């Protein structure tokens, strides 16, 4: 599942890069987001209904119990919108590969912050994996500098 998710994310990012940088398409980040959002809804709502049958009922219950929940949900949705827009802008101005490397770096930073704040335990194999990730990010940065 992890390899499939990584491959799917990479394919999506490469397609974004092609659509955003192609002279024939002339697509900007907002247009791409406008076209991708409905497709994501069409894919994710049925998946949610299949895998988490009670999810919509839980949301309705939480909204009835606490009216602030709707504001929290709207804030979360807005943040997701801006994350996607930022991803598209980064892809347009750098490259799909740079976005993937930044995503891996973000994951490693999130783990370090999680360890520092929540004192989450990490195995030797986990530390080795995060070390390889950080080394890959550093090597990519060095390769990028040398190519200029």
Burial (Cβ within 10 Å: 0-12, 13-18, ≥19) of residue 91: buried
Rounded distance between C-alpha atoms, residue 16 and residue 7, angstroms: 14
This prediction's pTM: 0.74
Give the pLDDT score at 82: 94
Give residue 2's pLDDT band: very low, low, confident or very high (50, 70, 90). confident
* C-alpha to C-alpha distances, 61 to 18, 57, 64, 71, 76, nearest whole angstrom: 43, 6, 5, 15, 18
pLDDT tens digit string along 70-102?
999 999 999 999 999 998 999 989 999 998 899
* C-alpha to C-alpha distances, 98 to 17, 34, 62, 102, 138, nearest whole angstrom: 11, 23, 39, 6, 12
pLDDT tens digit string along 18-59?
888 888 877 889 999 999 899 999 999 999 999 999 999 999
């Amino acid at each position: 599942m992890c390899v499939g998710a990584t491959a799917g994310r990479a394919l999506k990012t490469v397609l974004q890069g092609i659509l955003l940088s192609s002279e024939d398409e002339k697509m900007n980040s907002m247009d791409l987001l406008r076209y991708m959002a409905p497709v994501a809804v069409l894919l994710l709502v049925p998946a949610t209904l299949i895998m988490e049958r009670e999810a919509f009922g839980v949301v309705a219950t939480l909204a009835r119990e606490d009216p602030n929940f709707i504001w929290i949900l709207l804030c979360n949705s807005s943040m997701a919108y801006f994350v996607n827009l930022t991803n598209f802008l980064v892809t347009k101005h750098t490259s799909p590969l740079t976005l993937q490397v930044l995503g891996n770096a973000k994951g490693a930073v999130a783990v370090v912050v999680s360890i520092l704040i929540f004192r989450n335990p990490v195995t030797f194999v986990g530390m080795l994996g995060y070390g390889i990730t950080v080394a890959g990010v550093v090597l990519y940065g060095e390769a990028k500098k040398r190519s200029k």
